[in-house]
Structure 1
Amino acid sequence: MWPYLKAIGAGAAIVALLAMFIFPVWQAWISQFQGLITGLAAVGAAAFTIAKMEKTIRVMERTDSASERRHRQLMRLSLRADKLRIERMYFPHSRELQTLHRKLTELADITAANDTQKIDPIRLELELTADSVRSIVSGEEWKAAGNLFGGILTHQVKDLLSAAHRLGYAAQQARPLPFNDGQQPQAFYATHEARRQEELGKVPPLVAELVTKLESTLKEVRLLAIAYEIY
């Protein structure tokens, strides 16, 4: 609409200019009201400028709104991909780790007395449990979500893997030799048994450490799941 009004205003101005030279009365009238006419023209020009600015602002607002909408859509898609990675890491592994934590807590009660005769019967269970923790935490789902971990969780996962490795290694080194069939000297079996008892003595603090590391990691993982609205 404004292009038409602009053309009409320009035409009226040209007609008024011509009338000043053609009609003396009209010229005298314009001369008498020159200040009023100038003021009205200024008001009209200002109104036209304001209207153009408002139109420009509306266009910019629509552009900004569309850009913001596209940005939100891209953010939702990005967050959805991140959420899926956390979800695949969290389910069902968090429940499995909680089960392993309960088992380790029970085993820690047995090893707390530091009695190798009580530790020896559960040695294999300790080895398998430590290996299970390490297998879950070093699995593909955890690796895929690793770049979404904060500094605390990243450090805790490293500590957890290290604790599980140390316990698993100690339990493995404490494996008994097969029955003495006479093919090896008796001293060999005595040396191995002494070393085995030494490794069994290392187990209690390693079990306690793994229980603590696993518990702190599970708490941090739960906070991460809450942040991504999974828990």
Structure 2
Amino acid sequence: MNDGYRPPERTKELLFNMVPTIVWVTVAAVIMFTPGPSAYDRLRDFDGLVAGALAVFAAWVTIRQMRRDDRSNDIRNEKVLRAMLRSDMLRFERMYYPQSSELADHLERLKQLPLPALVDRNSVQAWLDQAVVLERILIEIFATLHQPNWRASLDLLGGFASAKHAELVEDAKTLSEERDHTARMARTYLKNGELNIWLSLQQRTKRSEELVAFCCNGLEAVLEELEILADLYQIERTRLKRP
């Protein structure tokens, strides 16, 4: 870069500030170097030029004041915007830590949760044992999604992320209800051993597996949106544990 280089905006500013000097130097030069009997006569001959110079100067003063007002407004608006962004950033940070790590942990546990296929009575008992673990995970998911800092900052998620969050909550509720109903049915089967319960139980356990997959997808979508917002708000993600 050359030493004499000026950015375009700065060049425009310099030229604008030179307008009065250029105008008055030009007027003075014309009057001084025009032949005439006296300075008064020359001024009288160029009264139109002087009036035009005064009009240009008045316009320049007006424009300069308008530009100053615009700059003041821009600075004030920028401060307001920074304050708003700072407030949103702090809200999102309280939402992000530690809830993101907790949701990532829940996702990892859901993915690793084995829900055995039903083939005999022993597999029913094994499914019930895993259903207890599933219940604990769901309780923890609901606890995370209902934390005050999380709920108070949901408006920061935006339309798409809010929709994914709503789907996650709905899928988790449905999975919890399905798990409870299937667990009751499994206990009834272990007690009575009725064939019609066995067939319904097989269908419900498959439905539970599908809902677990839906919840995993919902958690992944919400976590991805959180990471996008973390980049937007320049939040460090070193403390976020992802599977």
What is the TM-score normalised by the length of structure 2? 0.68
Equivalent residues in 2 for 1:6-155, closer than 5 Å: 38-107=44-113, 110-111=114-115, 113=117, 116-117=123-124, 118-155=126-163
Kept in 1: contact 2:110–2:137 (CA 8 A): yes
Whether the 8 Å CA contact 2:116–2:127 is kept in 1: the answer is no
Question: How far apart are 1:67 and its partner, in Å?
Answer: 1.1
Percent of aligned pairs with the same residue? 25
CA offset at residue 68 of structure 1?
0.9
Letter in 2 for 1:163: D
Counterpart AA for 2:82 = R
* Native 8 Å contact 2:171 2:211 kept in 1: yes
Contact 1:111 1:204 in 2 (8 A): yes
- Cα offset for 1:220? 1.3
Following superposition, the deviation at residue 132 of structure 1 comes to 1.4
| C-alpha separation in 2, matches of 1:69 and 1:191 | 76
**Structure 2 equivalent of residue 7 of structure 1:** none
Residue 217 of structure 2 corresponds to which residue in structure 1?
212
Tell me if the contact between 1:120 and 1:200 (Cα under 8 Å) persists in the aligned partners. no
* Offset, 1:170: 2.3
- Residue pair 1:82, 1:148 contacting (<8 A) in 2 also: yes
TM-score (norm 1): 0.71
**C-alpha distance in structure 2 between counterparts of 1:191 and 1:170, whole Å:** 21
Structure 1 SS opposite 2:234: coil
Aligned length: 191
Stretch deviating more after TM superposition (142-151 or 111-120): 111-120
Q: In 2, Cα distance between the equivalents of 1:173 and 1:102? A: 25
> Cα distance, 1:72 vs. partner?
0.5
Which amino acid in structure 2 is aligned with residue 87 of structure 1?
Answer: E
> Structure 2 counterpart of 1:164, which letter?
A
Structure 1, gaps ≥5 residues long: 1-28, 180-185
Q: Distance in 1 between matches of 2:139 and 2:149?
A: 17
Q: Deviations over 1:39-87 (max 9, x none)?
A: 4111111122222222222222211111111110011111111111111
